[in-house]
Amino acid sequence: MKHYSPTDYVNWLEEYKVRQKAGLEARKIVASFSKRFFSEHVPCNGFSDIENLEGPEIFFEDELVCILNMEGRKALTWKYYAKKILYYLRQQKILNNLKAFLQQPDDYESYLEGAVYIDQYCNPLSDISLKDIQAQIDSIVELVCKTLRGINSRHPSLAFKAGESSMIMEIELQSQVLDAMNYVLYDQLKFKGNRMDYYNALNLYMHQVLIRRTGIPISMSLLYLTIARQLGVPLEPVNFPSHFLLRWCQGAEGEGIDQSYQLLRDSLDLYLAMYPDQVQLLLLQARLYFHLGIWPEKVLDILQHIQTLDPGQHGAVGYLVQHTLEHIERKKEEVGVEVKLRSDEKHRDVCYSIGLIMKHKRYGYNCVIYGWDPTCMMGHEWIRNMNVHSLPHGHHQPFYNVLVEDGSCRYAAQENLEYNVEPQEISHPDVGRYFSEFTGTHYIPNAELEIRYPEDLEFVYETVQNIYSAKKENIDE
């Protein structure tokens, strides 16, 4: 009801019909995504049919939220794609707002708004608002004001109201404000830079910086700059190589502000375009996709992006490009979907099946199997780098694609896996891409995965009966 005004006349019957039509259309589209995109990453143009929907977009989003709120352990594939679609729709709205913001005339008061748009863009499913973040900053300003009352009763911030403060002309008073800010932020509230985990994306988001009181130079500077301005102290950004700093202007009102704001706007634009850790994240993602042998074309796109962002990564990138191209050539020789039958003689050594919850014997992580090979299918370089030859059975044993509870994907040797006697859900973002339901003991593959492993489900049922039923009987006794 929040989308309706109490004073507006609404034909509720017609509104219901439009809502129902949008809901049916949403479910139809979500249901089609697994079949369309199971074998590849969802491309940007995969959402073109969503953008052409008739009727209010809010009804479509409402249905997606309903799908996400369906019973927890079921409809996992629907939820997986509903989340992707909802993510895309909201991100597009935020991106439009951010683009409009960057096209505005220079306005020194709006830099926090830009930072919040970036935060929202990177976290479109979170409830992040400029109003809430501003309220938290206002509470910090109030603490600074209380501290200032003990220093100088003439300080104009004693009458502080959000958005109404003016610049302090006396240099001595500005210095007192900065001292009070430093005390409140760093001694009282314990804000700090994150040196131990610098490349954690949470260091970039304003709402997380305020919650965790931890950040990196650009996010901490934005916070400090916002608070200082509300208290009447002019600061401006200074661009150092690989660093983002602030300078106390100590000048008249408006001095250097246009240039400073433009630098900050440029920094925000860069902030959106590339996080400080993006090269490493992209390189890690490319390595992961390459080692798992999935989406080779996507790997090449990532590698080209890395080369553009950081030419210094040419060594690792060149290695991955070479082997990815070889992988693509091998893939071209495959015709249609590869179906793996457990009853096939060449698969006689495969002991485990897709959907089973496993534990790694050496590293102790929990995981779920979503694919397997009768022997290691990686190249010689991968086998050497992963030290596979040190295993008793080497690469001449089944290997399994697994989704790990920490969000990673791995390729594990059979001898390193064992049944998890206490099966649990695996909190991995791609579980819904492969499985439709978690039963409490195992995952049920969705239609697309079952096509590739048509006999595995029967082996899963047999394993569950033997492993978990026997355990339950022992407990009952």
What confidence score (pLDDT) does residue 55 get? 67
The pLDDT tens digits for 420-462 are 989 999 999 899 999 999 999 999 999 999 999 999 999 999 9
Q: If we measure between CA atoms, which residue out of 88, 68, 78, 92 comes closest to residue 29? A: 78
Helices (H), 231-277: 257-273
| 169 vs 156: CA distance, rounded Å | 11
Q: Which of 62-71, 153-162, 329-338 has the lowest mean pLDDT?
A: 153-162
CATH (one of 3.30.360.10, 3.30.428.10, 3.10.20.520, 2.30.30.390) for 343-467: 2.30.30.390
Name the residue with higher pLDDT: 400 or 9: 400
Average pLDDT value for residue range 377-406 = 90
Q: Which of 5-14, 136-145, 381-390 has the lowest mean pLDDT?
A: 5-14
Binned at pLDDT 50, 70 and 90, residue 274 comes out as very low
- Where are the strands (E) in 354-439, listed by range? 357-360, 366-373, 399-404, 409-413, 417-419, 435-438
Domain range list for the chain: 10-102, 128-247+263-272, 275-330, 343-467
CA 59 → CA 16, 45, 48, distances in Å? Answer: 10, 22, 18
Q: Would strands 417-419 and 435-438 be described as parallel, antiparallel, or unpaired?
A: unpaired
Let me know: does 160 contact 142? Beta carbons within 8 Å.
Answer: yes
| 246 vs 249: CA distance, rounded Å | 9
With a cut of 90, say whether residue 323 has pLDDT above it: no
E strand or H helix at 23:
helix 12-37
With a cut of 50, say whether residue 253 has pLDDT above it: no
